[in-house]
Amino acid sequence: STAGAILQPQPPPWENSVSLISFMFPREKATRGARGAARRVNTMQKGVATVAQLSGFDEIIDARTPAEFAEDHIPGAINLPVLDNDERIVVGTMYKQQSAFDARRLGGALVAANISRHMLAVLQDKPKNWRPLIYCWRGGQRSGSFATWLRMVGWDARQLEGGYKAFRHHVIAEIARIV
């Protein structure tokens, strides 16, 4: 009978290196390399895009502050900040000096209000099949929040993996390759 086998205790995921990698990096697939060592293989995540895929989107949205956008941005991007310059300073200062929780609570409220404003203005006429790519500095919470809301609406919004920082590294590498 197989009933007894079902009740048998299973080893924890950290007992071998492949299981440990799968446990620690659930979005990545663990495989064995040529020498039998565990290695991680990136799999495409829904909602994430790479720098190489930039041209496959209808619009590129920079979710950083107007000051960050003015300093530099991906060519052709529009700036729809989830925090304005002053809001980012307040939230960042609160995070460092007071509490990460308090900063995230305030930041979440401000981000939701700003995304709502963008959706009621700039984004109100976008068709159902619109495909935006959203980025912030490192591909973190700002662009992730925006992309999540746009996906909840029904758009195929993607977040740039690594954010503007990854784009900048790509451009520098391309220049070095050409020169």
**What's the rounded Cα separation, in Å, for the pair 68 and 164?**
10
Residue 1 has pLDDT above 50, yes or no: no
Look-up: residue for tokens 């939701």? 112
Task: Report DSSP letters for 6-59, one per residue.
Answer: HTSPPPPGGGSHHHHHHHH-TTEEEEE-TTS-EEEEE-PPTTEE-GGGGGGSSE
| Per-residue pLDDT tens over the stretch 68-87 | 999 999 999 999 999 999 99
Q: Round the CA-based radius of gyration of the chain to a whole number and report it.
A: 21
pTM, 2 dp: 0.73
| Per-residue pLDDT tens over the stretch 102-161 | 999 999 999 999 999 999 999 999 999 999 999 999 868 999 999 999 999 999 999 999
Task: Report DSSP letters for 52-87, one per residue.
Answer: GGGGGSSEEEE-S-HHHHHH---TT-EE--SS-HHH
Active site residues: 136
Q: Which helix or strand (DSSP H or E) is residue 89 part of? A: helix 85-97
Q: What percent of the chain has pLDDT over 70?
A: 74
**What's the rounded Cα separation, in Å, for the pair 138 and 24?**
21
CB atoms within 10 A of CB 37: 10
